[in-house]
Structure 1
Amino acid sequence: MYLNTFYTERGNKRNKKRVGRGIGSGLGKTCGKGHKGQKSRSGCKINRSFEGGQTPLNRRLPKFGFISRKQKKFQEIRLNELSKIDGNDINLSILRSFKIINRKIKYVKIINTGNINKFKNIIKLKCTSSVKKILIQLGGNIKE
């Protein structure tokens, strides 16, 4: 096998477009860009969102939505996740040590999802009213 024996199939290779090579080429004089206008000039780069001077769509539509900075530091915890903790006392640092919450989390609320069978003392954490009832029935305390 030699380089001089390689051939492509006929019609497989296209010739490069050669612009500005005379009237007979079909792409002479204006080189297929027409007469005048922004797109006929050299170095023409038009932004995709440009609408010819009309106010663009992204500026015509109203802005909406809001993400609270506090929301990024807040997390809800299910009741059954408390059963993974060995001790009876539960606070932010204990939840971090058992990797139930991220270290960036500063606000936690315990919600009633799942079951728990041991009593737990909750220290400085928010709870729903149904969780408070369940924990008090088991013999736990809630210190907010």
Structure 2
Amino acid sequence: MYLNNLSYNKGTKKKKKRLGRGIGSCYGKTCGKGHKGQKSRSGGKIKRGFEGGQTPLYRRLPKFGFKTKKNILTQEIKLSNLNIIKNTVIDIYTLKKYNLIKKNIKNIKIILFGKIYSRKIICNIKTTLKSYIKIKNLGGVVDT
């Protein structure tokens, strides 16, 4: 095999469009741009979304959607963090008292992360299934 024997596979190489090469080339005179108009001029580009001066579609349609504040007011707590609390009864106010959650939090969920060593009674706090089982096994109560 020599360099002069190498060639591209058939169909991989496309011939370049040769503009302004006479009538017989199909791209002579106007070079495929037609007669007059903005697109026939050099530098005649039209911005994306431009509708000829008419108010574009993206401005005619109303705005929609919102960002929910539920994400801001929700927080997760590790199961191991409950060991810090000396009380057996745990609710939102005790968690705020021990600085385990921020002051503005309204929705809390206990997730299984670490171990719990003492019996706890949990009031008005959501739990995951596995953390619920761990609390129940120690004789704790979960009230939602």
Residue identity opposite 2:4 in structure 1: N
Q: Matched residues in 2 for 1:119 and 1:53: separation?
A: 67
How many residues are paired up?
111
Equivalent position of 1:131 in the other structure: 124
Equivalent position of 2:3 in the other structure: 3
SS in 2 for 1:108: coil
Question: When the two structures are superposed, what TM-score results if normalisation uses the length of structure 2?
Answer: 0.57
Q: Matched residues in 1 for 2:12 and 2:64: separation?
A: 52
1:84 corresponds, among 80, 87, 90, to 80
Distance 1:53 1:75, change over 3 A: same
* Structure 2: 5+ residue stretches without partners: 86-93, 112-118, 126-139
Equivalent position of 2:106 in the other structure: 109
Residue identity opposite 1:56 in structure 2: P
Q: 4+ residue runs of structure 1 moved beyond 6 angstroms?
A: none
- Aligned-residue Cα RMSD (Å) equals 3.7
Residue 29 of structure 1 deviates from its aligned partner by 0.6
Residue identity opposite 2:37 in structure 1: G
Residue 62 of structure 1 deviates from its aligned partner by 1.4
Distance 1:106 1:18, change over 3 A: farther
Residue identity opposite 2:62 in structure 1: P
1:28 counterpart = 2:28: yes
Question: When the two structures are superposed, what TM-score results if normalisation uses the length of structure 1?
Answer: 0.57
SS in 1 for 2:105: strand
Distance 1:110 1:83, change over 3 A: farther
* Structure 1: 5+ residue stretches without partners: 97-104, 121-129, 133-137, 139-144
Q: Matched residues in 2 for 1:111 and 1:77: separation?
A: 5
